[in-house]
Structure formats: structure tokens, C-alpha cells
Amino acid sequence: MNPIPEDYIKKIIHVDMDAFYASVEQRDRPELRGKPIAVGGSKERGVVAAASYEARKYGVRSAMPSAIAWRRCPDIIFLKPDFKKYRAVSQQIRSIFHRYTDLVEPLSLDEAYLDVSQNKAGISSASKIARKIREEIKAETELNASAGISINKFLAKVASDINKPNGQKTIMPDEVISFLEELPIQKFFGVGAKTAEKMKRLGIHNGKDLKAWDIALLKQEFGKAGEHYFNIVRGLQKSEVKPSRARKSLGAERTFDHDLKSSQEVEDALKSIFEIWYQRIEESGLKGRTISLKLKSQNFETLTRSKSLEQASNSRALLFKESMELLQKQYRGEAIRLLGLSLSNFGSDFETKAQQLTLDF
């Protein structure tokens, strides 16, 4: 008998394109195939938006400063992103998803959740649907996709990473508990780097260790999040795929391993966050009116300040200028453990099915 109640069991697929931006460029430019490439940045400045698998062998990854990528892989080829092209390919892929279900929740241009519990094709096997979707993506776009299939969004997303690239993994309902017990604690949804460190100090290294803690102790140590940890390790996650969720803001933030204790450190950190944030703005095609800066001190006091522009914009120069001015006005020399930027107030004419992005890198 499955220990997870039926109302917690759905057929969820997480589709994740393999090195999406880099793969699109290698598809369209045969001379780049088999070579280490990075989309975004340059030898001198910027951030990598995507790296080909040839570059990943050298430890190059997305969100990495491109100067570090170049040091790790001196032969790397930097390419300017073409988000208009990537958005067009993404729409082509989403049209394939909608052949099977309208319950599609995009997370970004290259990944999405699908609820196929009830599907247009009348196929009972979610694994079979995922395989057909991947085959159709390959046939129609020449690109590879990986997929994870399980009872909820969290498990489907974890599963999609297991057999990458160009593979899929299914975690069946009767396999969920044993899978969760063996899962490293840092892989659990809602467990960031700081929380993982704390859990390991408490002797919690995997799901089995976490499961040994009762809910009262978890709440005592982790506050409201304790109940979430108690439920998720038992496979109790309500996973509504929300196709019509409108994005209200687009943000990027970073929690630092060591507090920043000088104006120069804080400014340099914000510049790095800006690069990632602006890449996401370019990717989305958004224009917004309100820029917000978020700072959290070493005492966990959070300050958020915003400025509204006269009209919606996605001008790199303008957003950079306003972001830096917000920092100069609000930073008072205190030690900083978190910095973030966000853009909002997009206007009533914009709708998206993606969710707010928060980066913790």
C-alpha cells in the first residue's frame, strides 16, 4: 500500500531543455558544434547565461562571471545572446506541450511543468507522454530535452536532472519514499545553502535524517519552514500546475557566504547581480517602471527601496544607473549578507505564465 494519500499523487512532467541557448546556437551555426561556447559575457566582463556541454567539462556553468569561465576554459567562444530567437524557439516547444495538456507552467524559456494526469492524448503513462514530447521536440527543433516524471513538481524537477542530457527519469509513487530518504538534504526544495549548512551541523544529511525529526523540533529550529520540511520529505506536496499565473516582478538576489563589509565589496556584488538580472530581463522581453533594491544586514534587518521611472523601460544603461543610485542613497556602511534587484510594474498589457525568478548563487 502506498503511504502517500491519493490526493497528493498527480502525473507531473518537468521538461528541461539541454543547454538551451548554447544548443540553439550550435544548431544554427554548424561551425560551433563540438566546441566550448558560452552565451553571454566576454573575456573581460559579464555573466554566462548558458554554456555548451563542451564548456561544462571545464566547470563552466550558467550565472558564472565570464572572466572566470575564460580562465577555466581559455578556448571558450563567447556569443552575444539572441533572446528574440530563443523566445521563438521556446514558443515552438510550448506548442508541443499543449498538444498533450493545457496545464503547462513555464518557469523560463527552457523549462516547464506539465500536469498530464488528464491529457488530450488519452495516454495513461506519463513516462510515455514525456518520451513522445521529447521525440517531437527533437524532430521539429533538432534540440534535445530531458524530462523528470513523478507525483509532484518538486520530485519531477529533481528527476529531470538525473539522466541529463537527452534522457528522462521516472520516480513512481511506490518509489517516492525510498528516493526521498536517500536524497541529499541540499537537493530538497526550500533548503538553500545556509539552511543546508545548519541542517548538516544538526546531523541532517539526507531525507532519512530529516524524517527522524518530529514537526515540533523542526518548527523550533526552522520556524514556519519546519512544517514544509516535515511534509516534503514524506512526499506531501500539493502541486498545482498554474498556467495563468501572471508575473508581478522579475528579480535576482544573492545570499553571501561571508558578509560584505566595505562599500567596494557591496558595489562589486551588486554589479554581478545586475548582470544576471539584466539577462533575465532581456530573456523575458519585459519593460518595467519600478526598480527595487533589497539589502539584508548581518543582523537580518531587511531594507527595500524602490524608484519608479517615468515610463516602462528595459534599457540596460538606465536600469544600471538607477540601480547604482539606489545603492548609493541607501547603503550606510553596514555589513551586508544579501543583495537583490527586481523590476516590476509591467503594465496591464503584459501577461506571462512564468513565475518570479529569485537566484541564490
Give how far the C-alpha of residue 138 lies from the chain's centroid of Cα atoms, to the nearest Å. Answer: 23
Residues with a known catalytic role:
111
| Residues near 337 by beta carbon (within 8 Å), at least 6 away in sequence | 255, 256, 259, 260, 296, 297, 298, 300
Nearest to 80 by CA among 17, 20, 144, 25: 25
Q: Locate all alpha helices (DSSP H) within 98-145, ordered by sequence.
A: 126-141
d(CA 84, CA 156): 29
Nearest to 10 by CA among 99, 105, 90, 93: 105
Return the number of other C-beta atoms located less than 10 Å from residue 14's C-beta: 26
CB 253 within 8 A of CB 338: yes
**Helices then strands (H, E): number in the chain?**
13, 12
d(CA 175, CA 4): 11
Burial pattern 180-189, b for ≥16 Cβ within 10 A else e, equals: beebebeebe
Cell of 29: 551555426
d(CA 235, CA 331): 43
Nearest to 68 by CA among 85, 90, 46: 46
- The three-point CA angle 170-171-177 to 5° equals 175
Residue 172 to residues 4, 90, 148, 168, 238, Cα–Cα distance (Å): 12, 29, 11, 13, 17
